[in-house]
Amino acid sequence: MASRSTSSLCTTTLLLLVVSWATSATARNFYQDFDITWGDGRAQILNNGDLLTLSLDKASGSGFQSKNEYLFGKIDMQLKLVPGNSAGTVTAYYLSSNGSTWDEIDYEFLGNLSGDPYILHTNVFSQGKGNREQQFYLWFDPTADFHTYSILWNPQRIIFSVDGTPIREFKNAESIGVPFPKAQPMRIFSSLWNADDWATRGGLVKTDWTQAPFTASYRNFNADNACVWSSGSSSCASSTSSSSDGNAWLSEELDSTGQDRLKWVQSNYMIYNYCTDAKRFPQGFPPECSMS
């Protein structure tokens, strides 16, 4: 009887050790993945690395960046934005490389007066050139809870998604002379800062500092499906890897359901699209605008 109990206890202990090892091997936290880069204590990593907060007051905002650089990836982050009167504030979450001909994939959340909707501003820079803005309202209150903001970046396309719903696709249009971000590794950056000279109604609404500090929160970062760039080489075998080695996302595209959801968002929630701004481009729209 005693030996059976001992055997059972050993088995249980072994199972607990295996579960503990598996959990520690897969769990990520902000201490491992990010560095706080500015803000003099206004950015904080909390809850044993599960939560990161950025704060803004009249003296300064705050920001962080990823320890790793990535060259292609499927990257998720959950954000809960500044609640209440957030007019004048911008929460930026983006991928960017360095240098004067940088690449960048941009989410910017433009604050607003209490009760008015946030504006989600997106942009894509390639070789230092942006001017590819699309803006959206969201179909929920982004300050009431955490929501997942995702970037799929592979050699063929960039897809912005919110809670799994695609809101924007930027396709590789190199065949018609449009540079595409594919050669410069990028870090993940985020910051909360004061932009009341332009952020809300073109700068007409200023930041109400009596509401400070303003705080945005982050959790559940996931870059398991991403190619880490280190010492001149990628953690992915090659940019043409297929689903056989777990890198199906490197050739992922929107299926018919995804295309329908993209059209739904763009029909109902898009409030600005550079590809329809004729006043801005009197000589004709940028060439990628002709792609379906």
The C-alpha atoms of residue 38 and residue 212 are separated, in whole angstroms, by: 18
- Dihedral class, residue 115 (left if φ above 0, else alpha if ψ from -120 to 50, else beta): left
- The question of whether 104 is a catalytic residue gets the answer yes
CA triple 94-96-102, angle to 5 deg: 140
* CB contact at 8 A, 192 and 41: no
Residues in the chain: 292
CA triple 109-31-48, angle to 5 deg: 95
* CB contact at 8 A, 173 and 181: no
The SS3 call for residue 166 is strand
Burial class (CB in 10 A: 0-12, 13-18, 19+), 241: middle
φ, ψ (nearest 5 deg) of residue 155: -65, -15
Structure tokens at 100: 């004067």
* Residue of 69, 104, 169, 288 marked active site: 104
Residue type, 18: V
* Residue of 69, 108, 169, 288 marked active site: 108
Residues with a catalytic annotation lie at: 104, 108
